[in-house]
Amino acid sequence: MQKITLNVYRFDPDLDQEPYWKSYELPGREGVTVLEVLFEVLEHHDGSLAFRYSCREAICGACAMYINGSHRLACKTQVSHLGRVLWVSPLPHMRVIKDLVVDMDPFFEKYKLIKPYLLSNSKPPEKERYQSPDERRYIDEMISCILCGSCYSSCPSVWTGEHYLGPAALMWAYRFTADGRDEGDAERLNLTAQEGGLWRCHTIFNCTEACPKNINLTHSIQQLKKKAAARVLGGK
């Protein structure tokens, strides 16, 4: 098979004045993912290349990167779908720690702010908190979020407002308010309707386009806005 050219964004803040691209000529092979190609560089060409990964099956979100102009998971992206020239860089608009590794702390801090767990003040039931199959189906798409940060990295409201909660945190807030077992509506709506909250979403849709799990985050945020507005107007 023909060779491929892998261009990787490199930056080590301890050594480099500024980022640069480094190219590697690698043998083309069938069925190889971008993550495997990065491992080939790490193991045979340059042991200093830094990148994150964990599950290798698109459920941990660790290997989200910007690959040939799109947000993608390196473990799920087949090189054969990208052509002979690859451009791999870290998630845009996030602080680079080294090479392809970005600082995810602001993203997870905001996620924690919305209390991403069931809230309840009532006495626990004897057996279980029942959820019907229909109720579960309604939140199915949202709970497939793997917190990879692609949506956050793609959102112009995040780029321009450091306190904006961002699409993932808001989507998760809606996921819990839409869960019949949760009793934290008022608390979560208070948290998300603040300055830097859901009204900073300008329905740009980048988050939905960037999501490697095909989640319509924009829809969830709009549903959350409806709930917040209904509450202010004295509705449900």
205 binds ligand F3S (CB under 6 A): yes
Tokens 């004897």 -> residue: 126
Burial (CB < 10 A; 0-12, 13-18, 19+), residue 160, is exposed
69 closest CA partner among 205, 209, 201: 209
201 binds ligand F3S (CB under 6 A): yes
Amino acid of residue 113: L
Site for ligand F3S in 131-160 (CB under 6 A): 155, 157
Cα–Cα separations (whole angstroms), residue 77 to 43, 87, 222: 20, 13, 30
Tokens 């602001």 -> residue: 106
**Considering only residues 61, 90, 167, 212, which one is a binding residue for ligand F3S as defined by CB under 6 A?**
167
**Quick one: how far is CA 136 from the chain centroid?**
22
Q: How many CA atoms lie within 13 A of 72 on its CB side?
A: 20
220 binds ligand F3S (CB under 6 A): no
| Least distance to ligand F3S, CB of residue 198, Å | 9
89 binds ligand F3S (CB under 6 A): no
Binding residue count for ligand F3S, defined by CB under 6 A: 13
Q: Which is nearer to ligand F3S, 35 or 211 (CB)?
A: 211
54 binds ligand F3S (CB under 6 A): no
Question: Per-residue contact track with ligand F3S, 95 to 124, x per CB under 6 A?
Answer: ------------------------------
Taking the C-alpha atoms of residue 195 and residue 154, their distance in angstroms, rounded to an integer, is: 20
Identify the H or E element spanning 133. Answer: helix 133-143
Question: Which of these segments, 47-55, 70-78, 122-130, 201-209, binds ligand F3S (CB under 6 A)?
Answer: 201-209
Q: Which is nearer to ligand F3S, 89 or 220 (CB)?
A: 220
Q: Which is nearer to ligand F3S, 90 or 167 (CB)?
A: 167
Binding site for ligand F3S (CB under 6 A): 155, 157, 167, 201-207, 217-218, 221
